[in-house]
């Protein structure tokens, strides 16, 4: 109870001006931020605006958490792919060079020991992955901090839709000139089902990148200086981050049913059969045709009678 009171007491205050230099105990924004929605074709504002959630876009700024997340995502896909040869890989036999005793030479076991010419490297590089661990709650919080920092710097602009009438790059280039930032690299964030024509038009351009909400990570937030987001993408982002928090707290349960509770379809002779495979459907059609015409019995009599062959491709062990 005490700790909950202290939390509310701590986070109720906010900074006077939103800046990146706020201490850890304050939030940068005092009230809810609402961004205006801009039309994609004209680059002019419509009368609508969208409100951004405070628990995602108004978190206290922690630069150290963001550094840890960036290091985590950088090393997620990295591996050491080259390896040195070990004793089992090197091209040499495992025989002893000369017997242990009765020769005047030093005792040696294998030909390619590390100190010798043409010898292997001891404790060399191995194939391994460079991934590191980071707690899931830290990853979530750092992602939210990155979004607030981008808001303070003014990177975001909201778009209603990204749909195009024609899939031509010429039209897209003209549209982008209205946003005044086309010389610098630009990012467009879309919902989970983007438009095909838009993807076709945007594929060949250098300074433009597109991604969906699932691929929108911290490195892209920090790399690009201007980001366009659609209205649906913001809604999907907030819902996915809320669900991530609920799974961490354990409140998001999926209830499984018993096998006996699933409905079992009983056989109705009046209903037509729904078969999955095409071959079986063709057999069914032939059967029904013959039944209508009354030639079933003839078909069965005319079928070639086969002998009992037994197993095919047997090896005679006798």
Partner 1 sequence: MFQTLQKLRVMCFMFATTAERKVPPTPSNMPFTLNNLWDNPGARKIQKRWGRSGTRGNACGRGQRGQGARSGAGVPPKFEGGQTPLTRRLPKWGAKPSLEIYREVNICQIVDRIKQGRIDATQPIQIKDMLESRIFSKCKYGVKLLARGAERLSELNTPLTIEVSDASKTAIEAIKKAGGEVKVVYFTPLLLRQHLFPDKYPLELRPALPPSRAVEAIQRTEERGAVADYIKPKWVIEDEIEKKKLEEMAKLEVDTLKVQLQGAETVETAKKEKKKKKQKQQEEKQVSTLDLTNFKYPASREPGCGKDKIKQRKPVVYKKLSLNLD
Chain residues binding partner 1 by CB under 8 A are 19-24, 61, 63-64, 66-68, 70, 146, 149-150, 153, 219, 222-223, 250, 256-260
Q: Rank residues 68 and 231 by Cβ distance to partner 1 and give the closer one.
A: 68
Q: Rank residues 173 and 248 by Cβ distance to partner 1 and give the closer one.
A: 248
C-alpha span between 86 and 124 (Å, rounded):
8
The C-alpha angle 198, 199, 203, rounded to 5 degrees, equals 120
Alpha-carbon Rg for the chain in angstroms: 34
Q: Rank residues 61 and 188 by Cβ distance to partner 1 and give the closer one.
A: 61
Give the dihedral of Cα atoms 177, 171, 208, 242; nearest 10 deg: 100
Q: Rank residues 5 and 255 by Cβ distance to partner 1 and give the closer one.
A: 255
* Helix spans in 78-183 (H): 136-153, 169-177
Shortest Cβ 262–partner 1 spacing (Å)? 10
Shortest Cβ 145–partner 1 spacing (Å)? 9
C-alpha span between 313 and 176 (Å, rounded):
69
Q: Rank residues 219 and 296 by Cβ distance to partner 1 and give the closer one.
A: 219
Q: Which two tokens stand for residue 234?
A: 């913001």
Shortest Cβ 239–partner 1 spacing (Å)? 25
Q: Which two tokens stand for residue 257?
A: 């049913």
CB neighbour burial string for 292-309, b if at least 16 within 10 angstroms, e if fewer: eeeeeeeeeeeeeeeeee
Shortest Cβ 70–partner 1 spacing (Å)? 6
Angle separating helix axes 63-74 and 136-153, nearest 10 degrees? 110
Q: Rank residues 150 and 213 by Cβ distance to partner 1 and give the closer one.
A: 150
Shortest Cβ 23–partner 1 spacing (Å)? 6
Shortest Cβ 216–partner 1 spacing (Å)? 16
- Which contiguous run of DSSP H or E holds residue 47? strand 45-51
């Amino acid at each position: 109870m005490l700790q909950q009171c202290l939390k509310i007491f701590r986070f109720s205050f906010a900074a006077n001006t939103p800046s990146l230099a706020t201490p850890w105990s304050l939030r940068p924004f005092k009230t809810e931020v609402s961004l205006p929605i801009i039309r994609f074709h004209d680059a002019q504002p419509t009368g609508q605006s969208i409100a951004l959630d405070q628990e995602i876009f108004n978190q206290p700024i922690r630069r150290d958490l963001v550094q840890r997340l960036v290091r985590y995502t950088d090393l997620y896909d990295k591996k050491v792919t080259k390896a040195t040869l070990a004793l089992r890989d090197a091209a040499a036999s495992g025989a002893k060079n000369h017997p242990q005793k009765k020769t005047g030479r030093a005792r040696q076991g294998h030909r390619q020991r590390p100190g010798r010419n043409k010898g292997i490297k001891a404790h060399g590089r191995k194939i391994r992955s460079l991934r590191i661990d980071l707690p899931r709650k830290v990853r979530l919080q750092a992602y939210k901090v990155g979004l607030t920092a981008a808001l303070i710097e003014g990177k975001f602009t909201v778009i209603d839709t990204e749909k195009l009438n024609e899939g031509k790059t010429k039209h897209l280039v003209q549209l982008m000139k209205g946003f005044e930032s086309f010389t610098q690299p630009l990012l467009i964030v879309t919902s989970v089902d983007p438009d095909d024509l838009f993807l076709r038009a945007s594929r060949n351009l250098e300074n433009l990148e597109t991604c969906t909400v699932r691929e929108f990570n911290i490195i892209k937030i920090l790399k690009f200086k201007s980001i366009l987001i659609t209205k649906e993408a913001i809604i999907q982002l907030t819902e996915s981050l809320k669900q991530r928090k609920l799974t961490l707290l354990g409140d998001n349960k999926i209830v499984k049913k018993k096998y006996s509770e699933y409905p079992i379809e009983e056989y109705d002779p009046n209903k037509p059969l729904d078969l999955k495979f095409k071959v079986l459907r063709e057999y069914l059609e032939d059967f029904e045709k013959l039944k209508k015409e009354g030639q079933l019995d003839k078909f069965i009599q005319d079928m070639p009678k086969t002998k009992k062959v037994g197993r095919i491709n047997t090896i005679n062990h006798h």
